[in-house]
């Protein structure tokens, strides 16, 4: 498989700088990704994602790179700074340059509650699962960054938001039962906001083109529609208008297949009751 080198912005992101320095030193040494993977005992695909600033390495890799390239503590120091950034480069562009300016946000979520609608408790649980080697302080930094994103919903003129939630996100436990119940109770309150619409896509709707991932559509002032697709470990900004149009059609079909906002609220209420904490047995 051929990996296409992504353009990096090392002047704006420590993650990009880490990837750019890795790429520069590897190419200067005349090493392919495959050869480097053999030296540092990392997979070629992992190294490709790190070079593209799509993920950070585990803590052991920077030292191995410094030894391999004779760079002292360069990669160790870059790694220490990059770990403090709450979002990798691709996500940061979506959040700071696209989401923050959008007048309309439309999202389909198949695996978990959208970040804009998460309670702090659910965010803590989900980010801990996604970052098993992170320290408590690093997880808390990610949680706070997610909470800060939600400020756009409280602006005097917030974006018009439309969320379609797969039924799975109501049923899959994340943390303790009380965390799920509190989260679903929050959803019912969020759905009552005049600028926000919630729909649930029930299991009975069957298969569809966006199954297994998440899709966001962003309407920005005086700009073409932008789409963003996200998987479990990566995301893609889509700006080619023919590709965006295909995602627009997919989203509109999901909206037609989903329950009405009123019926969706009723399903959320039922699911919330299912997450009522169990009473201890009587003795």
Report, as an integer, the average pLDDT of 210-236.
Answer: 86
Stronger pLDDT, 240 or 89, i.e. the higher one = 240
Residue extents of the structural domains in the chain: 14-82, 100-274
pLDDT at 157 over 80: yes
Write the pLDDT tens digit of every residue in 129-141: 887 877 788 788 8
Domain at 100-274: CATH code: 3.30.870
Residue 139 is predicted with a pLDDT of: 84
pLDDT band of 120, cuts 50, 70, 90: very high
Topology given in CATH for the domain delimited by 14-82: 434 Repressor (Amino-terminal Domain) (1.10.260)
pLDDT higher than 60, residue 2: no
Q: Is the pLDDT of residue 176 over 50?
A: yes
Over the stretch 257-273, which tens digit does the pLDDT of each residue have?
Answer: 999 999 999 999 999 99
Q: What percent of the chain has pLDDT over 70?
A: 88
Do 14-82 and 100-274 show the same overall fold? no
Q: Is the pLDDT of residue 90 over 60?
A: no
Average pLDDT (7-29) is 83
pLDDT at 150: 93
- What is the band of 115 on the pLDDT scale with cuts at 50, 70, 90? very high
- The reported pLDDT for the residue numbered 100 is 86
| The two three-digit tokens of residue 205, written as one number | 């709707």
pLDDT at 281: 58
The pLDDT confidence band at residue 1, using thresholds 50, 70 and 90, is very low
Average pLDDT, the chain: 87
Chain segment 220-231, per-residue pLDDT in tens: 998 899 999 987
Is the dihedral angle over the CA atoms 115, 121, 125, 127 positive or is it negative? Answer: positive
């Amino acid at each position: 498989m051929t990996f296409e080198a992504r353009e990096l912005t090392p002047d704006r992101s420590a993650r990009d700088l880490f990837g750019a320095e890795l790429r520069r030193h590897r190419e200067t040494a005349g090493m392919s990704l495959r050869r480097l993977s053999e030296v540092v005992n990392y997979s070629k695909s992992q190294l490709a994602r790190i070079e593209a600033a799509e993920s950070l390495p585990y803590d052991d890799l920077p030292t191995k790179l410094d030894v391999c390239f004779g760079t002292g503590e360069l990669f160790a120091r870059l790694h220490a700074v990059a770990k403090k950034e709450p979002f990798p480069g691709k996500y940061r562009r979506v959040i700071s340059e696209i989401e923050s300016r959008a007048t309309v946000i439309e999202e389909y979520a198949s695996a978990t509650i959208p970040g804009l609608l998460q309670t702090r408790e659910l965010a803590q649980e989900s980010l801990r699962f996604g970052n098993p080697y992170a320290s408590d302080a690093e997880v808390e930094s990610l949680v706070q960054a997610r909470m800060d994103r939600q400020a756009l919903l409280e602006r005097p003129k917030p974006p018009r938001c439309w969320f379609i939630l797969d039924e799975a996100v109501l049923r899959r436990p994340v943390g303790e039962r009380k965390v799920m119940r509190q989260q679903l109770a929050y959803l019912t309150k969020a759905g009552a906001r005049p600028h926000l619409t919630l729909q649930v896509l029930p299991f009975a709707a069957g298969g569809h083109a966006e199954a297994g991932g998440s899709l966001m559509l962003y309407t920005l002032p005086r700009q073409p529609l932008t789409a963003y697709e996200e998987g479990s470990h990566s995301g893609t900004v889509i700006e080619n208008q023919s590709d965006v149009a295909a995602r627009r059609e997919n989203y509109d079909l999901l909206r037609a297949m989903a329950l009405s906002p009123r019926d969706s609220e009723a399903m959320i209420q039922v699911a919330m009751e299912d997450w009522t904490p169990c009473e201890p047995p009587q003795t």
